[in-house]
């Protein structure tokens, strides 16, 4: 089953995240199917490819809680 989740990137104490489509049981640093955008919690900014997010949700990918909160803020 595919999931839309956050993949942590960045230096120590300066985390930022990639929003990716990956296998639900895969490791957070592991392979992913597609990159959908990014999120920076320090500046509270994010960027999403809305068309691709809607496509993957229609294909059955389930967003995690944190990804769903970002989608809600983006009004998807």
CB 64 within 8 A of CB 53: no
Tell me the three state secondary structure of residue 12: coil
Structure letter (DSSP) for residue 13: T
What is the model's pLDDT at position 48? Answer: 96
What is the model's pLDDT at position 29? Answer: 84
What the chain holds in terms of domains, given with CATH numbers, is 2-66 (3.30.1320.10)
Per-residue pLDDT of the chain (76 residues; tens, 9 = 90+): 999 999 999 999 999 999 999 999 998 888 999 999 999 999 999 999 999 999 999 999 999 999 999 999 999 8
pTM of this prediction?
Answer: 0.90
Rounded-to-integer distance, Cα 52 and Cα 13, Å: 30
């Amino acid at each position: 089953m595919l999931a839309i989740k956050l993949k942590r990137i960045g230096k120590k104490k300066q985390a930022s995240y990639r929003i990716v489509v990956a296998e639900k049981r895969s490791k957070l640093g592991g392979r992913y199917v597609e990159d959908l955008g990014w999120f920076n919690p320090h500046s509270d900014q994010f960027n999403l490819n809305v068309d691709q997010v809607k496509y993957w949700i229609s294909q059955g990918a389930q967003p995690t809680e944190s990804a769903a909160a970002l989608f809600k803020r983006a009004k998807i």
